[in-house]
Structure 1
Amino acid sequence: MDEFFSLFIEEMGEPIFRQEVPPSSIERYSGKLPKKLLEYWTEHGWCGYGDGIFWTVNPQDYEGVAASFIEGTALEGRDTYHVIARGAFGDLYLYGENSGFSLDIVAHTSQYCSRVNELDAGNMDKEVQGFFLLVERESNDFGDLFEPAYNKLGKLDHDEMYGFVPALAFGGPCDLAHLEKVKAVEHLVLLAQISTLEPYSFSDF
């Protein structure tokens, strides 16, 4: 394990629910995702960290999610994006084939943050290491609700997330009482369908 991934685990927490990555997935994303990321997949698999607050995922499982959020927005056609990680509440981390780690989506509020990023083929390994070094546990703990949700609803499985029911876009309350364990892909597609993805504005911070 390299020092960057070791520091990531120190920040995020120990892995759970490891899924081995098949050679077919490595082959599928070779040339589309950085070699270092594929090496991490081979070494660590796809799994949750810190009791499930953060997950590395199979991008193929989330193709429909990415398409549902991006379709009809200013992001459509800008790049080919792949979801490579997600948070317990549906934060999505996407890698663009031409722009790298340039897009984050906060699914429950249907907002995104994009960055202008010129991909340097010579620094792609460092970009992957930097992503895992800089991602924070706190930024995936929406409203400090992870621990209360974990204690009330239990540990997430690899295909689950904590979702607000009814969804915030439907006017649902943003509190523990209205959180449920839901199937991640299905819930994320639903969120994409009920609210148009908008960029963050300065007033949101």
Structure 2
Amino acid sequence: MDEDFACFLAEFGPAIDKRYVPPATIARYRGKLPDQLLAYWDEYGWCGYADGLFWTVNPQEYEPALEAWIGDTPFMERDAYHVIAHSAFGTLYLWGEKTGDTLRIFAPASCGFSSAADNDVDRDFQMRVFFGSLWRDTNDVEGLFAPALKQLGRLAHDEMYGFVPALALGGAPTLANLKKVKAVEHLVILAQIEPLYVTETGI
């Protein structure tokens, strides 16, 4: 285990709801995603961490959400992106085949954060840094994860906590407005409510 992933596990704890990654899927993404990520998949599978606050996922399952959010944007011309992880509340972590960790989307508020690609950085190293720099607080929303976990129960690998009504429709980020929903379907619905607004920033 590398030092960065060890830091990630120290922060997020043991995995839950682990799913085995077939060799054919690893082969499918060889050359598209860093070998380091594929090694994590092979060793740890796709799973949840911190009781389901953060999830590594099968990018193929999230292609409908990816298309819904950036399919009609200039980002699709800039790079080929894949959803590699998401938070319990719908922060999408996208990885560009050429640009790496340069685009993230907070779906509930229809906002994205983009940064310039550093072409001098080794992508395997960048992947290690991606995991090593993750924090629980930045994946939570208004401190709602712990009470949502207690009230609504632990998420399955294909679920997330969604605000109903959506924040974009005037809903409030409160525990009373949270429901357990199917992740991909909910993310697609959120993308149809309000256009994505992207801020150029360092990630």
- Identify the TM-score tier after normalising by the shorter chain: over 0.9
Q: Which residue of 1 aligns with 2:107?
A: 107
Q: Which residue of 2 aligns with 1:197?
A: 196
2:105–2:111: 8 Å Cα contact kept in structure 1? yes
Q: Which residue of 1 aligns with 2:28?
A: 28
1:104–1:112: 8 Å Cα contact kept in structure 2? yes
* Structure 2 unaligned residues grouped into runs of 5+: none
Alignment: residue pair count: 201
Q: What SS class does the counterpart of residue 31 from structure 1 fall into? A: coil
Q: Which residue of 1 aligns with 2:68?
A: 68
Q: Which residue of 2 aligns with 1:81?
A: 81
Q: Which residue of 2 aligns with 1:164?
A: 163
Q: Which residue of 2 aligns with 1:131?
A: 130
TM-score in terms of structure 2 length: 0.95
Percent identity of paired positions between Structure 1 and Structure 2: 53
* Structure 2: distance between partners of 1:119 and 1:78: 14
Q: How far does residue 76 in structure 1 lie from its aligned partner after superposition?
A: 3.1
Spell out structure 1 runs of 4+ moving beyond 3 A. Answer: none
Q: Do residues 3 (structure 1) and 3 (structure 2) align? A: yes
Q: How far does residue 201 in structure 1 lie from its aligned partner after superposition?
A: 7.5
Q: How far does residue 189 in structure 1 lie from its aligned partner after superposition?
A: 0.4
* Structure 1 unaligned residues grouped into runs of 5+: none
Q: Which residue of 2 aligns with 1:149?
A: 148
Q: What SS class does the counterpart of residue 108 from structure 2 fall into? A: coil
* Structure 1 residues 57-105: Cα deviation after superposition (integer angstroms, max 9, x where no partner): 0000111111110023332311110000100000000000110011000
* Structure 2: distance between partners of 1:56 and 1:184: 13
RMSD over equivalenced CA pairs, Å: 1.4
Is 72-81 or 18-27 further displaced after alignment? 72-81
* Structure 2: distance between partners of 1:46 and 1:124: 20
2:109–2:167: 8 Å Cα contact kept in structure 1? yes
2:47–2:157: 8 Å Cα contact kept in structure 1? yes
